[in-house]
């Protein structure tokens, strides 16, 4: 283990590279469709209300299932089958949305695609954690996030280029997205899993779909203190869609909005790995708190800004915030949790986070409707500062 911590080349193992490439291909496929899915659904006759319900239920299914499948992975002592099934299901279900236009079929395909994310996330993150030492967790998760987000840059860029030459031909884009999805499936087949001992049969309680609630009851005090702060932040951290809507409100074209989204993902991709390395050196808590404060600054900026150059600067900072929090939070949780329950611990956090995000987006939409964007963003910034103050005031044995 000492050799791993001393050599940057050995920190990023073959398994980490493989998992990161799988995520890159998967995000490339998913983000090719992200900007155009609502447009496609409206073009085939679906209302904004149906789209909202569809996305809400699909994301809830993904979030709530992460703890369930993470717990199953821990109980069975296996990670790779969940990774392979999860990535495979998402890859197959994306083009299915273009096969038929029936509401029930669209609902089924979209929900199954997101369920694939729920199946794989806890097990994949546990595999990443197993490849790292406590001193290199943020570096590993940061590298994986960088590779993942490179896919989030390439995907929308391909979609933008395709629609420039073939405007309104959305269905073909869904089929094209299967290509990187297929590459992701193939990449999972070469991954080797470390042998783990499954729990003895008499020790295995039945895994509930609401495993996140059961794990919360028995989890360590440090885990509960950390999640309290993370969820206090999450319950006001609404969807990025609201930032993009603000850009539209400021007068940007659809092309420019997608361009800003690509720019944000590029910053995120470039910073996640070096910030992960920095977090391992100076402390996960310090970097995470810095990220939340930067988030607050961004939202205060968007509350009053209508300038395009300033908007790009704010999205640069927003990319920094994302790089300083998403991977670092997983590294922090994996350091606190028992190694045998890593997938459950991360899945539980993401299960609660999905509920918090649903509440946050609903609350942001209500505030925007009643009071406008400025008040919405200022309240969000104030909540972020409150979460930072809480986390700063709590002592953690493992930082």
Read off the pLDDT of residues 296-326 as tens digits, 9 standing for 90 and up: 999 999 999 877 888 889 999 999 999 999 8
> Which structural domains are found in the chain, ordered by start?
2-193+210-393 (1.20.1250.20)
What's the token pair of residue 135? 């001193």
Minimum mean pLDDT range among 52-66, 115-129, 296-310, 363-377: 52-66
CB atoms within 10 A of CB 156: 22
Percentage with pLDDT > 90 across the chain: 40
**Tokens of residue 70, six digits:** 């993470």
Instruction: Indicate if the pLDDT at residue 6 is higher than 90.
Output: no
Range in 179-188, 252-261, 262-271, 299-308 the model is least confident about:
252-261
In this predicted structure, the answer to whether residue 170 has a pLDDT above a threshold of 60 is yes
Most confident of 20-34, 215-229, 253-267, 340-354: 20-34
Ranking 33-37, 218-222, 241-245, 251-255 by mean pLDDT, the lowest is 251-255
* pTM for the structure as a whole: 0.80
Alpha carbons 228 and 118: distance in angstroms, whole number: 22
Closest-CA residue to 288 (of 227, 319, 329): 329
Residue 55: band (very low, low, confident or very high) from pLDDT cuts 50, 70, 90: confident
- Residue 201 carries which DSSP code? G
How many angstroms separate the Cα of 103 from the Cα of each of 46, 86, 97, 323?
A: 8, 24, 10, 37
Per-residue b or e along 328-365, where b marks 16 or more CB atoms closer than 10 Å to that residue's CB: bbbbbbbbbbeeebbbbbbbbbbbbbbbbbbebbebbb
Q: Indicate the average pLDDT of the chain.
A: 85
Q: Residue 132: is its pLDDT beyond 70? A: yes
pLDDT at 381 exceeding the cut of 70:
yes
Average pLDDT over residues 211-218: 73
Query: 3-state DSSP call for residue 3?
Result: helix
Top pLDDT among 356 and 82 is at 82
Q: What is the largest CA-CA distance in the chain?
A: 63
**Which of 48-57, 231-240, 321-330 has the highest mean predicted lDDT (pLDDT)?**
321-330
Helix (H, G, I), strand (E, B) or coil at 318: helix
pLDDT band, residue 45 (cuts 50/70/90): confident
The predicted pLDDT at position 280 comes to 92
More reliable by pLDDT, 326 or 244? 326
HSE toward the beta carbon, residue 393, CA cutoff 13 A: 8
Tell whether the model's pLDDT for residue 124 goes beyond 90.
yes
Please state, in angstroms and as integers, the Cα–Cα distance from residue 99 to each residue in 50, 95, 211, 315, following that order.
19, 7, 35, 36
Lowest mean pLDDT among 205-219, 316-330, 342-356: 205-219
């Amino acid at each position: 283990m000492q050799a791993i911590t001393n050599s940057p080349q050995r920190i990023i193992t073959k398994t980490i590279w493989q998992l990161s490439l799988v995520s890159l291909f998967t995000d490339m496929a998913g983000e090719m469709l992200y900007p155009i899915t609502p447009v496609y659904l409206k073009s085939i006759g679906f209302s904004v209300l149906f789209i909202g319900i569809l996305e809400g239920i699909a994301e809830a299914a993904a979030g709530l299932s992460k703890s369930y499948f993470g717990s199953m992975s821990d109980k069975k002592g296996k990670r790779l089958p969940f990774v392979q099934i999860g990535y495979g299901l998402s890859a197959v279900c994306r083009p299915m949305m273009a096969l038929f236009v029936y509401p029930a079929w669209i609902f089924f395909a979209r929900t199954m695609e997101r369920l694939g994310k729920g199946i794989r996330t806890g097990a994949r993150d546990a595999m990443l954690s197993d490849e790292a030492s406590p001193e290199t967790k943020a570096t590993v998760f940061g590298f994986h996030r960088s590779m993942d987000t490179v896919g989030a840059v390439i995907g929308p860029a391909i979609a933008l280029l395709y629609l420039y030459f073939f405007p309104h031909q959305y269905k073909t884009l869904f089929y094209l997205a299967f290509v990187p999805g297929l590459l992701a499936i193939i990449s999972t087949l070469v991954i080797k899993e470390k042998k783990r001992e499954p729990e003895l049969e008499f020790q295995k309680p039945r895994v509930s779909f609401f495993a996140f609630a059961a794990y919360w009851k028995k989890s360590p005090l440090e885990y509960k203190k950390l999640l309290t702060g993370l969820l206090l932040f999450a319950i006001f951290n609404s969807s990025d869609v609201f930032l993009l809507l603000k850009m539209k409100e400021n007068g940007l074209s659809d092309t420019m909005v997608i361009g800003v989204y690509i720019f944000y993902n590029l910053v995120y991709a470039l910073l996640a790995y070096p910030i992960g390395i920095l977090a391992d050196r100076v402390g996960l808590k310090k970097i995470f708190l810095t990220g939340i404060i930067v988030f607050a600054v961004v939202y205060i900026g968007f509350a009053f800004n209508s300038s395009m150059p300033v908007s790009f600067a704010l999205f640069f900072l927003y990319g920094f915030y994302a790089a300083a929090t998403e991977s670092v939070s997983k590294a922090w949780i994996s350091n606190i949790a028992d190694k045998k329950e890593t997938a459950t611990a991360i899945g539980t956090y993401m299960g609660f986070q999905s509920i918090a995000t649903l509440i946050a987006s609903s609350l942001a939409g209500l505030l925007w409707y009643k009071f406008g964007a400025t008040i919405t963003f200022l309240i969000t910034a104030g909540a972020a500062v409150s979460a930072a103050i809480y986390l700063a005031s709590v002592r953690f044995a493992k930082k």
